[in-house]
Amino acid sequence: MSDNSSNNEYWSANMRIIKICLVIWALVSFGFGILLRPLLSGISVGGSDLGFWFAQQGSILVFLALIFFYAWWMNRLDQKYGVDEE
């Protein structure tokens, strides 16, 4: 495999992971917190409805989980393409 082809595959996989993370984050923060809030209002979490919880707490927690997922996945991707630090 040529070096240029390997670089293109690496960056293609990297961009795919970024797009997936951004879609999940947008769905949780904008979708669940704003657009789907009326549908989630009947479910109670911590004394308030689920839509409000996603707008105030859930989107932040999902964002933190996505950061750890992205770091873990990129470490695996770096090892696969031989660009890891070790």
Q: Please report whether residue 33 resides in a domain.
A: yes
- What is the pLDDT, as a whole number, of residue 2? 60
| Cα(37)–Cα(52) distance, integer angstroms | 7
45 lies in which domain range? Answer: 14-81
Q: Please report whether residue 8 resides in a domain.
A: no
Q: Please report whether residue 75 resides in a domain.
A: yes
Q: Please report whether residue 86 resides in a domain.
A: no
Q: What is the domain count for the chain?
A: 1
- DSSP structural state of residue 44: E
* Residue 83 contacts residue 13 (beta carbons within 8 Å): no
Q: Please report whether residue 29 resides in a domain.
A: yes
Q: Please report whether residue 6 resides in a domain.
A: no
Global pTM? 0.78
* Residue 38 contacts residue 64 (beta carbons within 8 Å): no
Q: What does pLDDT average to in each consecutive run of 10 residues of the chain (86 residues)?
A: 79 95 91 84 84 84 95 93 80
Q: Please report whether residue 77 resides in a domain.
A: yes
